């Protein structure tokens, strides 16, 4: 199995790219999240890869970040989701944003991703709720940055205190009010859980 490639970027024409590794040109498919961060052609790159073999095809997928590859693999374990929809998800939202949507149970936001209908979004919530935890770092994002909003920050903080994702979703939903800071949401959620 091919797990990683490092070489010279020869071609980048979404959704395909070609990487020269020691004189061999590997053709890969990649999500737009990877394309946005690729260097100019002729530069060296390193990609995490996923090799998929089906009855009549073999495809190599490339990702700049391990979290993207992990999400790509997790998505395909959901019934009815294949590589095409998995790439669409990665092209539509970041891994940390996707994890947050799953943790919050936000079906409406998930259905705004191309190729995701209501039933598919609901299946994702059920089948991925426990798998997305590894995609979000303790700082709240897959990249280790600052969470995008107070709800996301409160969600991460409550999970780091040992609450399960299902509990956290309910706690944050009940506690959050417009204009609240993360600290306010956390304080109200913890106070409510002690009643």
Residues with Cβ within 8 Å of residue 13, at least 6 apart in sequence: none
Q: What CATH architecture does domain 66-138 belong to? A: Orthogonal Bundle (1.10)
Fold of 149-195: Helicase, Ruva Protein; domain 3 (1.10.8)
Say what the pLDDT of residue 111 is.
Answer: 87
What are the residue boundaries of the structural domains of the chain, listed by start? 4-64, 66-138, 149-195
Structure-block tokens of residue 49 = 């890869």
| CATH placement of domain 4-64 | 2.40.50.140
Say what the pLDDT of residue 160 is.
Answer: 65
Structure-block tokens of residue 80 = 């009815």
Say what the pLDDT of residue 135 is.
Answer: 59
Top-confidence range, 75-79, 110-114, 137-141: 75-79
Q: Mean pLDDT over residues 122-137, rounded?
A: 74
Top-confidence range, 8-12, 95-99, 147-151: 8-12
pLDDT-derived band at 57 (thresholds 50, 70, 90) equals confident
Q: What is the dihedral of CA 180, 184, 185, 189, to 10 degrees?
A: -150
Q: Is the pLDDT of residue 137 over 60?
A: no
Say what the pLDDT of residue 93 is.
Answer: 83
Residues with Cβ within 8 Å of residue 139, at least 6 apart in sequence: 145, 146, 147, 156
Average pLDDT, the chain: 83
Q: Is the pLDDT of residue 16 over 70?
A: yes
Q: Is 46 helix (H, G, I), strand (E, B) or coil?
A: strand
Q: Mean pLDDT over residues 75-86, rounded?
A: 88
The larger pLDDT score, comparing residue 28 to residue 179, is at: 28
pLDDT-derived band at 142 (thresholds 50, 70, 90) equals very low
Sign of the alpha-carbon torsion through 160, 174, 151, 64: positive
Q: Is the pLDDT of residue 62 over 90?
A: yes
Q: Are 98 and 71 in contact (CB under 8 A)?
A: yes
What pTM does this model have? 0.66
Q: Is the pLDDT of residue 26 over 90?
A: yes
């Amino acid at each position: 199995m091919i797990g990683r490639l490092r070489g010279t970027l020869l071609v980048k024409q979404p959704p395909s790219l070609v990487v020269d590794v020691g004189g061999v040109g590997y053709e890969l498919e990649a999500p737009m999240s990877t394309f946005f961060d690729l260097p100019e052609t002729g530069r060296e790159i390193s990609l995490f890869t996923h090799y998929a073999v089906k009855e009549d095809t073999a495809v190599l997928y490339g990702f700049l970040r391990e979290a993207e590859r992990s999400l790509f693999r997790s998505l395909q374990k959901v019934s009815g989701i294949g590589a095409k929809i998995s790439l669409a998800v990665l092209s539509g939202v970041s891994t940390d944003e996707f994890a947050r949507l799953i943790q919050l149970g936000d079906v409406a936001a998930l259905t705004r991703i191309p190729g995701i209908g209501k039933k598919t979004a609901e299946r994702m919530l059920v089948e991925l709720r426990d798998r997305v935890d590894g995609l979000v770092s303790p700082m709240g994002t897959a990249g280790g940055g600052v969470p995008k909003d107070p709800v996301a920050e409160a969600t991460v903080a409550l999970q780091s205190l040992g609450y399960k994702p299902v509990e956290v979703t309910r706690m944050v939903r009940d506690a959050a009010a417009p204009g609240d800071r993360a600290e306010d949401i956390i304080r109200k959620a913890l106070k409510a859980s002690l009643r």
